[in-house]
Structure 1
Amino acid sequence: MGQFDLVIGVVLLGLFLNTYLYGLVTYQFIIYYNTKFNDRLWIKSIVGLLFVLDTVHSAVAVYAGWEMCVTNYANPSVLAYVSWTIPFTAVATALAAFITQIFLGHRVLILTKNIPLVTFIGLLSLLGFFFGVYAGIYSGILHAVAKFGPLGPFVTCWLVFQTSADILITCVLSFVLSRSRTGFRRTDTIINRIIRGAVQTGLFASIFALADLFSFMLHRNTNLYAMFAYPLGRIYTNTLLDTLNARTALKAMDGTEIENDSYRMQHQTHTISGAPGTLHSIHVQKEVITDLTDECPVDTKYTV
């Protein structure tokens, strides 16, 4: 292993992954913009804000790579300090997580009507945002990597609260939606797709947040944490946009489904008076109508 593999190399890997995920964010944003969803203004504002935030943060990430590998190419002593890009990354990531969790918390409120539960989710998210901003600003004040010891508790609180909110949201959405299964194939397919989106939203963000936490706490003499810290904000935006854009596929499954099952039973009898035999038939028709109609489209019933 080279001398700078765990100092510069891991940062570059994080920047490459962040750039790839930003490309996916841009693609998802274009799909959302061109699909013309009938979303409320606050939802459109969240999408626009996250896209602007991701664009600015990705530009800052590229600058961080340039500053480390080009501007200070012959100055390895600079690696003992953090520039303003690291505090900005912490603040931007905490903000992206907070916005996404507020949106998903609204979905929990719509589905459960449980105000205490949503309030608890909001508290976890707010605490994660607060400690994330505090940790970012504090890292800029400390500046020297050797002085990062006191920063540990604040980073721990930030990522633990943030991850707890993600996991709680995922569990609640999965539980509530799984109980909404009706037994009808088309409706259950739509519900399963929404559950998968909810799991994806919390799973990938939680994995990267915990990896960021453990690498920061256990490998203080490296920049391993940066490999997970830079792309974390893009993961939140990608999963949120994927949840919104998935309605295009769900609408294709939408509609009113009528299943007709006919069962015919015939038997021959004779009247008591001895009249000619009469054929009696019993016709049983069963109609099954799903609960997804044009008046209640899937994107308004389940996702917002």
Structure 2
Amino acid sequence: MSRVWAFPASSSGSPSAPLVIFAMSVGLTYGAMLVGGLLALGLSGCVNMQFIVYCRVYFRESWRTKSMVIVIWLLDLSHSALVIVALWDSIIATYGDLSKLDTIPWCIGPAIELTAIITFIVQCFFAHRIYKLQKMKIFTIAIPIVAIACARLVMASITMTEMLKLKSYSTYFQHFNWIFTMGLLLSALVDGMITLSLCYFLRKNRPKFTDTMRIIDTLTFWTIQNGSMTSAATIATLICWKTMPENRIFLGLHFVVAKLYANSLLATLNARKQIWTGKQYSPTNNQPMPIVFMEDYPETSITQQGSLRLGTPQMKEAHPRSKLIQVNVEHIVESKGDDSMEMDMTDSAACSPV
């Protein structure tokens, strides 16, 4: 049975500053923060595991990609440290002091800012993929995605500044709740734009090869699932913030949002080889698999005549009478590395056994 605490009133009988009486139960304040913080730390362990796997498997990637991964990993570690400090300052350091229930610890603002930075990097990463799928056109949907992501980052910066200045949840909600609300709305909007755009361009560029069609179908399925996960967490945070600002459920959920984005990016990069070689499960097998983009196809080579030679075990099983499948492409067949992670195929390709 949880106790309900209220802020003390002034001598005149009216509520003391910040002029709002918040009835807070221990379970919905400290309990929500604790559960959200522990879940965030658990997901941070998944980020560390993903980072180790990336370093071991993709150590030959370009420094641009590796630098992005290292930055995400360091930001995630910093965010986890701030979450730990927030839990300590809110639950342990102020234990039994009812006057501190409405106080915002100094680390909450920076934690919100780090969440926005991680979100911005991940969303820009997927915006770059959309740019590539659009054949690098100047007028692209990636531009408004990046613009809205920048606006979301600005909102988070204002939130951090005001929280550090006001140091009161109720005062911040009274005067600046629209800023935090707008930031969450923009984040959910960008996630929706990225998901819809990726699905559209993946289906639009879907080639007429059986194995590649399977890859595109799998990418589309997990694009929807992964985008829905981050969007759902953001929208849940927004709902709790608008309907229950007197408790800290929104804060516990917000702790988790940064980890979902970091895991989304690292899992996307780590699963490329498995998808490319066909070792990942299809969506009907109920196995977890993130959104991925295609990397160099193992045992694949481009001949001097411009034909793509595929010699994977899966294709050998599908064509037992031929040791190799040669795909002659009329215009361009291009297999790029991790900087672009795309494969352009024309509809005029023809397959013939060698």
| TM-score bracket, shorter-length normalisation | 0.7 to 0.9
| Contact 1:251–1:298 (Cα < 8 Å) also in 2 | no
Aligned: 1:115 with 2:138: yes
Deviation of 1:103 (Å): 1.0
Q: Distance in 1 between matches of 2:112 and 2:76?
A: 13
Deviation of 1:231 (Å): 1.1
Identity, in percent, stands at 25
- Which residue of the partner structure matches residue 69 of structure 2? 47
CA RMSD of aligned residues (A): 2.5
For residues 290 and 178 of structure 1, do their structure 2 counterparts lie closer, same or farther at Cα, with a shift above 3 Å needed?
A: farther
- Stretches of structure 1 lacking an aligned partner (at least 5 in a row): 263-286
Deviation of 1:86 (Å): 1.2
Report SS of the residue matched to 2:71.
Answer: helix
Q: Distance in 2 between matches of 1:261 and 1:178?
A: 30
Aligned: 1:152 with 2:177: yes
Deviation of 1:89 (Å): 1.5
For residues 296 and 71 of structure 1, do their structure 2 counterparts lie closer, same or farther at Cα, with a shift above 3 Å needed?
A: same
Q: Distance in 2 between matches of 1:301 and 1:130?
A: 30
| Contact 1:250–1:298 (Cα < 8 Å) also in 2 | no
Deviation of 1:144 (Å): 1.4
- Which residue of the partner structure matches residue 130 of structure 1? 154
Deviation of 1:189 (Å): 2.2
- Higher deviation after alignment, 178-187 or 224-233: 178-187
Give per-residue Cα distances to partners, 1:35-81, cap 9 Å, x unaligned: 02543322211111110011011011112112222222222321111
Q: Distance in 2 between matches of 1:298 and 1:43?
A: 11
Matched residue pairs, number? Answer: 278
Q: Distance in 1 between matches of 2:257 and 2:205?
A: 31
Aligned: 1:296 with 2:319: no
Match of 1:181 among 206, 215, 222: 206
Q: Which runs of 4+ in 1 moved over 6 A?
A: none
Q: Distance in 1 between matches of 2:65 and 2:337?
A: 16
For residues 193 and 30 of structure 1, do their structure 2 counterparts lie closer, same or farther at Cα, with a shift above 3 Å needed?
A: farther
- Which residue of the partner structure matches residue 64 of structure 1? 86
Q: Distance in 2 between matches of 1:197 and 1:114?
A: 25
Corresponding letter in the other structure for 1:151: F
Deviation of 1:142 (Å): 1.7
- Higher deviation after alignment, 142-151 or 81-90: 142-151
| Contact 1:125–1:162 (Cα < 8 Å) also in 2 | yes
- Higher deviation after alignment, 24-33 or 60-69: 60-69
Q: Distance in 2 between matches of 1:243 and 1:209?
A: 20
| Contact 1:200–1:239 (Cα < 8 Å) also in 2 | no
- Higher deviation after alignment, 138-147 or 228-237: 138-147
| Contact 2:335–2:342 (Cα < 8 Å) also in 1 | no
Bigger RCO (CA 8 Å, 6+ sep):
1
- Stretches of structure 2 lacking an aligned partner (at least 5 in a row): 4-25, 279-296, 301-309, 344-354
Report SS of the residue matched to 1:115.
Answer: coil
For residues 174 and 295 of structure 1, do their structure 2 counterparts lie closer, same or farther at Cα, with a shift above 3 Å needed?
A: closer
Higher helix content, 1 or 2: 1
Q: Distance in 1 between matches of 2:37 and 2:169?
A: 20
| Contact 2:234–2:254 (Cα < 8 Å) also in 1 | yes
Instruction: Show the 5 A alignment for 1:165-244.
Output: 165-244=190-269
Q: Distance in 1 between matches of 2:86 and 2:320?
A: 65
For residues 260 and 22 of structure 1, do their structure 2 counterparts lie closer, same or farther at Cα, with a shift above 3 Å needed?
A: closer
Corresponding letter in the other structure for 2:230: A
Report SS of the residue matched to 1:20.
Answer: helix
| Contact 2:82–2:108 (Cα < 8 Å) also in 1 | no
- Which residue of the partner structure matches residue 266 of structure 1? none
For residues 301 and 62 of structure 1, do their structure 2 counterparts lie closer, same or farther at Cα, with a shift above 3 Å needed?
A: closer
| Contact 1:197–1:239 (Cα < 8 Å) also in 2 | no
Deviation of 1:202 (Å): 2.1
| Contact 2:90–2:105 (Cα < 8 Å) also in 1 | no
- Which residue of the partner structure matches residue 349 of structure 2? none
Corresponding letter in the other structure for 1:302: E
Report SS of the residue matched to 2:335.
Answer: coil
